[in-house]
Structure formats: structure tokens, C-alpha cells
Amino acid sequence: MRRPLEGILVLEFAQYLAGPYAGLRLADLGARVIKIERPNGGDAGRKLATKHLFADGDSLVFHAINRNKESYAANLKDPHDLEKVRRLIGRADVMTHNFRPGVMEKIGLDYDAVRALNPRLVYGAVTGYGGTGPWVDKPGQDLLAQSMSGLTWLTGSEGDGPVPFGLAAADLLCGTHLAQGLLAALVRRGKTGRGGLVETSLIESLVDLQFEVLTTYLNDGGQLPVRAKHRNAHAYLGAPYGIYQTQDGWLAVAMGCLSTLGTLIGCDALIPFRDEHGDEFLMRNQVKTILARHFKTRPTQYWLGLLDVADYWCADVFNYGQLMNHAGYKVLGMDQVVRRPNGTSLRTLRCPIRIDGDRLYSEVAAPELGNANETLNASE
């Protein structure tokens, strides 16, 4: 299968997660993505480990987010190396970076400078908080951006204090947004022949993630979100929305009519509550407390048997082991194995996109530092 971005050359001056995540998606879609890395140590993400796990000297995080790429080692402070990189830029279709504002200007690889080298280039930049303003010099780090965005007041329950997402939500969303912008600019270039500048930031991505609830805030008189007291799942939605403990596990229940739910599960205590009166939100703490007591009386599968038949929205609550051993997960074919030339292999996940019915697998692991230097230098 020819992938949509075959023939597109991407130079990635990015490290850690947000910028490289955009490059990962472009590589999955067929682009040739070359990481420009420091000769001494490379992308700092090579040492950013989860659970202190490494493979072949690089962190699992680096392997996960840089598979299917190549690496070109260059000292951008060395005029000889910088000139080689400039020549690569002259051949490239896309260039990305996630340095703090001002860094690329000092090197001489800011957008205005490289546009003179290659007017067709699509240039993508990720920052923490934009290119101007009082936050411009703050570290663009995921937890810090989550904390400043208001997002931490949506997760957890009333009284918990601020609760961040348990993963790098800002980085991954921002990388997704950067990839979207780059693809749009490439489409425009195909029509006009003109490159362009694509910019986004961690804070903008997190604000956009909250567009639903921030729109509510902007139109309800500026009322701050109030989380439910019992197992809050969405600060702006009423009961029964949430996760409940059962006799032997957990059950997720989404939105639905309270009276219908009460009838289905035989909970007479729900009868006084009426959706048409707004009780599902105004009285959600009382309703959820009743449901919490009731769902504990029977096993999860008992409740699923009642609710699934009536098409009342509900689901199991899986851990990773339950998820990956379920037939529903296995049919997706998400797992793949990637390999380095030295035989090092690693289990990871494929791209979640399908093109013309085909899943996008690749066995190419994250690159060893400088693995493309010889090839690229010889091609000059």
C-alpha cells in the first residue's frame, strides 16, 4: 500500500513528546521523518523513562514515540554541521521544533530564515504558552500546562483538590494539533505552491480540549465547575453519569433517564427524582449515593445483563490486563513489534488510523542516534 505522505521529507528538531508525537503521525502516514539530534546524547527524551524502563540504551517513551523515524546527528553550534543541516532544509517539505521562543532565532533556523532557503517549506512550531506574553519563558511541560489550564478542577470528586490527568494529555493533544496544521498547510501548498508557518502550544491545546465546558462557563455567568461528591466523572453532567462499585467489580453508567434506570435495576428509591425537573444535575449527589448503594448488591455482569438488553448506556471497567485479553481488543490488531538492526525488539502499538481499510503497521523501531548520517551525507 502506498501511504498518503510517501515522498514527503520531514526534519524534526524536536524532543520529548509534543513535537515528536506529530512526527510519529506523519511517519505512520508515509512521510520520511528525520530527527535532527545533538551528537552527544541526542533527544533528551532518550533518557525520559517511565518506570525506569529502557531498551537498547533508550527509554521506552523514546521508543514508543519515535518509531519509524531516522536520526541525523548534528551540532547546530558548529558552522560546518549547521551548513549541512541548511542543505537538508533546502530539500525538506516539513520542519518542526518545540524549542522555547527565541532559541531557533539564535541558531538562525527560525521561520523567516529558513523560508529564504526553501519557500515551499511547511514550518511547524510548538511552544508551552505561545510566542509572546507573560508566560513565554515558562517551561513547556505537561503537568505545568495542565495545572495552569483549569483542567485539574474537572477530574476527581468534590473535596479532592486539583487532580491532573494520569498521562501526558497536553503533549499528545498538542502533537495531534500540530500534525493537523501541518497536513492542512501541505494541502494548501499543493494548491498554491506556497509553504507556511504552523504554530500551536500546550496551553492552547488544553483550552481547546475543554471547549465544551468552557463554552458553558462563558454562558452561565462564569460559574466555576463543581464536581460531584460521589465518584465524579464529568463536572458538568448529572447522574447517573459515573463509575460505580458492584459486588465484584465496577460498572460505568453514562447518561440516561433516571426513572427508566430505576425501573430497569429495581431501584425504587429513584422514583421521586425527575429528569424534567433537572434532578439529574441539581440532585446528582443524592442520586449517585443511592445508586452507589444499590449497585453494590449484585455482580457487574448482572447489571450489564439488565442494562445492555434495554440499550441503556453502560460498560465494564477494565484494567489493562482485562482490556488486552478481551476478544474485542484483539480484533482491533493494535499490537505490533518493532525491531532495530541489532536485533533489539519491542512490543508497542500501531497507528490508530486506517487508510482504505488497511491498518498502518511498521516494524521500524526508533532510530539509533545518527543512524542516517552516512546515507544523508553521501547523498549531498
* Cell numbers for 286: 443524592
* Cell numbers for 272: 421521586
* Measured distance CA(45)–CA(57) in Å, rounded: 12
* Measured distance CA(181)–CA(124) in Å, rounded: 8
Residue 259 DSSP class: H
* Measured distance CA(256)–CA(90) in Å, rounded: 57
* Cell numbers for 157: 470528586
* Cell numbers for 18: 509534543
Query: Considering 43, 110, 142, 171, which one is annotated as catalytic?
Result: 171
Roughly what angle, to the nearest 10 degrees, separates helices 18-28 and 169-192?
A: 50
Residues 119, 195 contacting (CB under 8 angstroms):
yes
The angle formed by the CA atoms of residues 176, 181 and 185, to the nearest 5 degrees, is 150
* Cell numbers for 220: 452561565
Residue 134 DSSP class: T
- Within the chain, residue ranges assigned H as helices are 18-28, 60-65, 79-91, 103-107, 111-117, 142-149, 169-192, 202-209, 211-219, 258-265, 279-282, 284-295, 300-309, 320-324, 327-330, 373-378
3-state helix, strand, coil in the chain (%, to 5): 40, 15, 45
* Measured distance CA(87)–CA(175) in Å, rounded: 26
Residue 364 DSSP class: B
Q: How many residues does the chain have?
A: 380
Task: Could you list the beta-strand ranges (E) of 153-303.
Answer: 196-201, 242-245, 250-253
Q: Which pairing describes strands 54-55 and 58-59: parallel, antiparallel, or unpaired?
A: antiparallel
Q: Is 171 a catalytic residue?
A: yes
Instruction: Tell me the catalytic residues.
Output: 171
